[in-house]
């Protein structure tokens, strides 16, 4: 099962982060329109991602209380059909998260600049563990330093959790 090291912070805009990304020559990879449909799950999180017309189901487990947010995940891709209708008939939907994601890459770290409907602006880092967790942590810490993220408060929740908390207040 693949593993990421992750970080999420709240922003007021993308301006400063985009400036830093340009300075370090991060590669703008794509702009993605994403709809994540979260389903009730007994273990970890389960979401259907509809992204620019593509569909995949993602299962992941992450310790939100840990200092370092390592996440184990699996992704299955669908080549046809209406996965949202299919899973909606089988599973209970918890919530839906819609976002526009600007994706950058730097040294095998995905940098997401997300505008999340009803929540605002966020930035996420996902460093893929390739050669062990120590290597991933080193690459992760490098981009945290380059983007000057030490002063930001890390959010240790998924967008699902943030939407659910907002809806229950």
Cα distance between residue 92 and residue 32, in whole Å: 26
pLDDT tens digits along 88-137: 999 999 999 999 999 999 999 999 999 999 999 999 999 999 999 999 99
Domain of 62: which CATH number?
2.40.320.10
pLDDT of residue 63: 78
3-state SS assignment for residue 111: strand
Quick one: which of 15, 141, 37, 16 has its CA closest to 90? Answer: 37
Residue 144 has pLDDT above 70, yes or no: yes
3-state SS assignment for residue 52: coil
Quick one: which of 139, 134, 121 has its CA closest to 14? Answer: 121
pLDDT tens digits along 3-17: 999 999 999 999 999
Phi, psi of 29 (to 5 degrees): -100, -40
Total domains present in the chain: 1
Cα distance between residue 76 and residue 92, in whole Å: 19
Show the domain range for 41.
3-168
pTM: 0.92
Q: Which two tokens stand for residue 160?
A: 């699902």
Residue 168 has pLDDT above 80, yes or no: no
pLDDT tens digits along 39-78: 999 888 999 999 998 999 999 998 777 888 899 999 999 9
Cα distance between residue 127 and residue 71, in whole Å: 10
Q: Which two tokens stand for residue 156?
A: 């240790």
Quick one: which of 73, 160, 64, 75 has its CA closest to 116? Answer: 160
């Amino acid at each position: 099962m693949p593993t990421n090291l992750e970080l999420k912070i709240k922003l007021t805009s993308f301006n400063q982060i985009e400036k830093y990304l340009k300075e370090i020559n991060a590669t703008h990879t794509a702009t993605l329109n994403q709809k994540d449909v979260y389903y009730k799950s007994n273990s970890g999180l389960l979401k259907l991602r509809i992204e620019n017309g593509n569909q995949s189901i993602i299962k992941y487990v992450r310790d939100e209380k840990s200092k370092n947010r390592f996440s184990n995940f699996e992704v299955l891709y669908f080549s046809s059909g209406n996965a949202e209708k299919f899973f909606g008939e089988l599973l209970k939907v918890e919530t839906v998260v819609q976002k526009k994601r600007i994706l950058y890459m730097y040294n095998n770290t995905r940098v997401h600049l997300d505008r999340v409907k009803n929540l605002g602006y966020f930035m996420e880092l996902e460093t893929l563990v390739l050669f062990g967790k120590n290597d991933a942590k080193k690459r992760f810490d490098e981009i945290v330093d380059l983007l000057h993220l030490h002063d930001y408060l890390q959010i240790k929740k998924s967008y699902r959790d943030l939407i659910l908390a907002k809806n229950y207040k």
